[in-house]
Amino acid sequence: MLDSSDYLKAAQAVATCVGAEGSASDPRDFQTIAVIGAGTMGTGIALAMVNAGLAVTLIDAAQAGLDKAIGIATKTLARSVERGQISEDEARARVSRIKVSTEIKDIASADAIVEAVWERMDLKQSIFRDIDKFAKPGALLGTNTSTLDINEIAAVTSRPEDVVGLHFFSPAHVMKLLEVVRGDKTSQACLADAVALGLRIGKVPVVVGVCDGFVGNRIFAAREHEAARLLLEGALPQQVDKVLVEFGFPMGSFVLQDMSGGIELIWRMNQARGKTDVLVDKLAALGRFGQKAGRGYYAYGEDGRTPLPDPEVELLINEASRESGIARRQIDDAEIVERLIYPMINEGAKILEEGIADRASDIDVIWSLGYGWPRAKAGPMRYADTIGLGKIRDALQRLAVDHGSRFSPSALLTRLAETNGTFTADAGVA
């Protein structure tokens, strides 16, 4: 089992070794940060910065959004005072370090810029054209994208070597994980500075490469795809979620989707891409957008927070199965564990094969700090080592026969299983 000191040591090791041109032992002296976008993520990022003693210019096109952000920051820091974590004077000092502006030109004096606008490539590229125009030479240019191609964002600037992904996790002032995404042209100096900035604000930075979803969300997508498929084949949300909680996660897939607005997000993304999802479309048509709407995969009681199994959802799932031509059947908990957890491990192996992550422990840190992987199970890759890669390979081969090639074990997993190797000892760089 890893503890917080292990994570910090790993992060410091990353910061020490990433830069030939930049060094974590002699990092850039960051003083001023500009954050573009005053939504939930931008506000959280601004708080993370001022909590570490940095000055922030928070920029948004709408003054109302900036006013709301300052209100949220003030209330958040007031709660810290109530808990005895900081004094009232310190809370006021931190709020005073956040300056607001509706003019993007006010990034000009910032040592680093962090873009945190909506997850749309055209919008982010537009913002980065302006960043390129107004940011001072040598400024670190960070994007908080969680899935988009850093290279496409960097390409609209005249200085792609200064562009790096800074994928914060929500709430950004609380969550310790920071995925630092290296683009094809990100310089070693920029990468080292990004890691150093992450350490400065108390994060655990893990360097990853560019792919859809990077490391954390790519593995998460593999799990969620299978969770959705299990519903069509015969499971119900409460069974899937129960299995995940019993495995050790703090919550299951469908409670999480209801909390995070996942139904609406998936529905809108599908609309933008011309895709359909039979069940999500049915939920969206009824306005079942999760906890905020009082109903999603679950119904929510008088407190608006307690998930309750809903007979209407079971009817919708049955309809979606019929329309998809899938005969429903009883699915036992053991099958659910295999179909949710083993594809995560297999996806992690593919990530290592592709060089998106440098080492298996990076994947474990990401999933332990950012996604609630049960601490007693150490992380998906080390967990795989403990139960045996041969067992996982055999199970995936069986699942591939029964359910399709998406379960086919990766080349790395197959090789390690054949040689009695492990991810921890034999995969990735030392």
Residues with active-site annotation = 167
Task: Give residues with Cβ within 8 angstroms of 279, minimum separation 6.
Answer: 228, 231, 232, 316, 317, 320
Coil, strand, or helix at residue 288?
A: coil
Task: Give residues with Cβ within 8 angstroms of 427, minimum separation 6.
Answer: 349, 352, 359, 360, 381, 412, 416, 421
DSSP E strand boundaries for 288-390? 299-300, 307-308
Residue 153 and residue 126: Cα distance in Å, rounded? Answer: 9
Residue 245 and residue 241: Cα distance in Å, rounded? Answer: 6
| Nearest C-alpha neighbor of 135 from the set 163, 107, 95, 177 | 107
Q: Where are the alpha helices (DSSP H) in 146-236?
A: 150-154, 188-200, 216-233
Largest Cα–Cα separation, the chain: 64
| 384, 345 contact by CB (below 8 A) | yes
Task: Please state whether the peptide bond connecting residue 343 to the residue before it is cis, i.e. omega within 30 degrees of 0.
Answer: no
Tokens linked to 112: 């680093």
| Nearest C-alpha neighbor of 207 from the set 402, 427, 16, 3 | 16
Task: Give residues with Cβ within 8 angstroms of 387, minimum separation 6.
Answer: none
Q: How far apart are the first and last CA of the chain?
A: 20
Residue 120 and residue 142: Cα distance in Å, rounded? Answer: 15
Q: How many other CB atoms are there within 10 angstroms of residue 355's CB atom?
A: 12
